[in-house]
Amino acid sequence: MTKEEKLKAINDMNKNTLMETLGIVFTDIGEDFLEGTMPVNSRIHQPLGMLHGGASIAFAESLGSCLSNIVLLGTGSAAVGTNINSNHLKSKREGIVTGRARLTRKGKTLHFLEIEIRDEEHHLICHSTMSNMVIAMNAS
């Protein structure tokens, strides 16, 4: 499967999900990373007119969870989030943010990821770390 085919497939899975509601689009993929964009507008503002921290966390978790599950395709396992820690470092009112999730540890039972969300000038808006537990597909 080509990179373009992979991106189309994962973007198609966003239909009727929170990712579609937030306008998240996956834009680049590699062996240990996944990148995407999210628009910043009034739909995802907090009352002061800035990017809502929860939207940043949802974006980070979407990137991290999707990356872990892409890595696990065909193994009979899936990844589920167990922890996310985010630091909001700079406000954003309008435009586009770009997030990049990077797999820093790919274990048999645990994936650890780092996610950075940046603005158009490459300023760091939010830094997150995330843990995903690897489970059997039929487990819950």
Catalytic residues: 61
Structure tokens that stand for 20 in this block: 């579609």
For 100, the token pair is 């990049």
Rounded to whole angstroms, the Cα distance separating 28 from 66 reads 12
Cα distances (Å, whole numbers) of residue 19 to 53, 93, 107, 140:
15, 19, 26, 22
82/13 Cα distance (integer angstroms): 22
Task: Give which of 38, 30, 23 is closest to 7, Cα–Cα.
Answer: 30
